[in-house]
Amino acid sequence: MWFRNLLVYRFVQPFALDAAALSEKLEATQFQPVGKMERQSIGFSRPARHAATPFVHAVGGNLLVSLCVEEKILPSTVIRDFAEQKIQEIEEQQSRKVGKKERKEITERVTDELLPRAFTRRRKTTAMLMPQSGWLIVDSASAKKAEELLEWLRKAVEALAVRPLSTQMSPQVVMTGWLTEGEAFGNFGIEDECELKLPEEDGAVVRCLRQDLHTDEVRNHLASGKCVTKLALTWADRMSFVLTEELVIRRLGYLDLLQDEAKSAGAVDDDEQFDANLAIMSGELDKLLPELIEALGGETPPKA
């Protein structure tokens, strides 16, 4: 398994639960398919089909969990159209106007009638708890989805204490410096994509895609006061990604060196390959994240 986006959190206190103990706690918030009269169902599901415990998959001391959300697709416009049709029928048949309170009751009744017939959609948000390294990493670029997963984790594990990764220097300042100088820190390399923005509210935005960023055009934008809010990077010729000003890693790619290692891991089936990929990925993240933190001036210590 390969994560494609990273939102990184730091354990404030050591995480002591093993896979079996964590799975037992998650059982109380396990996923159930959405009911006929429900709009949404949410809970933890099996993160890998071959997981030894129902709600946690352990590989090399790291713990994989998956939050499943199933939602009814019932647009408000559909409800409104059906409700208006019923209101119109009442007004025509009874020669009277339907009042505000009755309109609300009709809308609620229509919603109840439509819910059992509505299509559903599922989405999963996966996270990897890395107790030995002190990380909790969510495979998402959406802070809302990551916080949703953390909220449900806390319902199961009250003692869970994590905070978003925070660095001494802002990614925006550091990335702007890299692009101005034409060179990134350490094993990082600048690729062919960036977003530049004037810092004031509603400031102009320039997006460069598949373009040489070491040009006078880009330098002129920087000289005019624009800052880098997104920058495509490679790391150690092993990973590629887009770093954002919010310290989100997007579109994480695994380059040929890593892919070759994964293929030569000796996996005999898809389940073993899943575990091999996960082990390789976690090992690389254990190297990437400390170097990224160093490039951004070090980690901000937690507030007392």
Report the predicted TM-score, pTM, of the whole model to 2 decimal places: 0.90
| Residue 151: inside a domain | yes
Same domain, 220 and 124: no
Same domain, 241 and 260: yes
What is the span of the domain harbouring residue 50?
A: 7-69+120-164
CA distance linking residue 208 with residue 191, whole number of Å: 11
Which tokens belong to 10? 């730091």
| Residue 299: inside a domain | no
Q: Could you list the pLDDT tens digit for every one of the 304 residues in the chain?
A: 899 999 999 999 999 999 999 999 999 999 999 999 899 999 999 999 998 899 999 999 999 999 999 999 999 999 999 999 999 988 889 888 989 999 999 999 999 999 999 999 999 999 999 999 999 999 999 999 999 999 999 999 988 999 999 999 999 999 999 999 999 999 999 999 999 999 888 889 999 999 999 999 999 999 999 999 999 999 999 999 999 999 999 999 999 999 999 999 888 899 999 999 999 999 999 999 999 999 999 999 877 6
Helix%, strand%, coil% for the chain, nearest 5: 40, 30, 35
Pairing of strands 62-73, 40-45: antiparallel
pLDDT of residue 159: 87
pLDDT of residue 304: 61
What are the strands, taking DSSP E only, across 102-150? 119-130, 135-138
- Name the residue type at position 104: K
Picking from 164, 197, 228, the residue at the C-terminal end of a domain is 164
Same domain, 221 and 253: yes
Picking from 164, 194, 228, the residue at the C-terminal end of a domain is 164
156: left (phi over 0), alpha (psi -120 to 50) or beta: alpha
30 class by beta-carbon count within 10 Å (0-12 exposed, 13-18 middle, 19+ buried): middle
Please spell the DSSP secondary structure of 63-102, one letter per residue: EEEEEEEEEEE--HHHHHHHHHHHHHHHHHHHTS---HHH
SS3 state at 188 = strand
| Residue 2: inside a domain | no
Same domain, 112 and 124: no
Work out the number of other CB atoms within 10 angstroms of the CB of residue 280. 19
> Residues for the chain: how many in total?
304
CA distance linking residue 222 with residue 101, whole number of Å: 58
| Residue 304: inside a domain | no
Which tokens belong to 45? 């599901």
Same domain, 109 and 128: no
pLDDT of residue 95: 87
DSSP structural state of residue 117: G
pLDDT of residue 246: 97
CA distance linking residue 276 with residue 265, whole number of Å: 7
pLDDT of residue 202: 83
Please say whether the beta carbons of 30 and 44 come within 8 A.
yes
CA distance linking residue 268 with residue 191, whole number of Å: 36
Beta-bridged to residue 62, according to DSSP, are 59
pLDDT of residue 10: 97
SS3 state at 69 = strand
Same domain, 16 and 141: yes
pLDDT of residue 129: 98
CA distance linking residue 181 with residue 176, whole number of Å: 9
| Residue 134: inside a domain | yes
